[in-house]
Amino acid sequence: MEKVVLAEKFAAFSDLWSPKLVGEVNDFHVKVAKLKGEFVWHHHEHEDELFLVVKGHLRIRLKERDIALDEGEFFIVPRGVEHMPIADEECHVLLLEPKSTLNTGNVRSGRTVSEVQSL
Amino acid sequence: MEKVVLAEKFAAFSDLWSPKLVGEVNDFHVKVAKLKGEFVWHHHEHEDELFLVVKGHLRIRLKERDIALDEGEFFIVPRGVEHMPIADEECHVLLLEPKSTLNTGNVRSGRTVSEVQSL
């Protein structure tokens, strides 16, 4: 039962597109991730997913438009909605999603992280 | 389905100890609140509760110690754990908790907010 210093967590890893577990709130996971480049198109059948930008800029590409997020801004991707995160430069995000959430949703790819590492 | 700019949300209200709803992620609520002074001792029987400090400093008093949080730091109060948030100066926090969570937990007081306002 300790506090979490986000800056310390981000300093503790460098791999991209690999969310790290930093907290559990009932059946939810709090994760941090470093993103750069384009991810894969996917959706989550049952889970909404919150992206909060802690550092940098993130675009969440939806089928009909892009959501552009700066530091201190978040977007909740509703379940079932196709999305692809894109970061032109390295971006640090806090993710909030049900424990059941797989990072690539309905898609299995080289980007899929089946076992999330705890920090 | 719009992004949330935290600074805009915090600029939109001034009342203290009155969490405002800014997002829903499955069965979870994302809220923002401005805190100053001492709250009431309480616990949540079934809900864990995450406090992320967006601006200022927050202490979460537990029975055996205080958790001191600065900007960019969060603490998850586990269900069942007595706690009292304290802010010497006005502090802005993001709260993450199950939708069933009442701000004063097991206690009913003048501080209880039964109907959470959406922003």
Structure confidence by residue, pLDDT tens digits, A69-118:
999 999 999 999 999 999 999 999 999 999 888 888 888 888 888 888 89
Measured between CB atoms, which of A23, A47, A76 is closest to B76?
A: A23
Q: Indicate yes or no: CB of B3 within 8 angstroms of CB of A48.
A: no
**A14 at B interface, C-beta within 8 A:** no
Q: How would you classify the pairing of strands A117-118 and A20-25?
A: parallel
Q: The pTM is what?
A: 0.94
- Letter for the amino acid at A119? L
Q: Are A53 and A74 in contact (CB under 8 A)?
A: yes
Structure confidence by residue, pLDDT tens digits, B14-68:
999 999 999 999 999 999 999 999 999 999 999 999 999 999 999 999 999 999 9
**B14 at A interface, C-beta within 8 A:** no
**A26 at B interface, C-beta within 8 A:** yes
Burial bucket for residue A11 (CB in 10 Å: 0-12, 13-18, 19+): exposed
**Which residue, chain included where needed, has tokens 């969060």?**
B74
Measured between CB atoms, which of B26, B74, B81 is closest to A4?
A: B74
| Chain A residues lying within 8 Å of B27, measured CB to CB | 27
Q: Are A62 and A82 in contact (CB under 8 A)?
A: yes
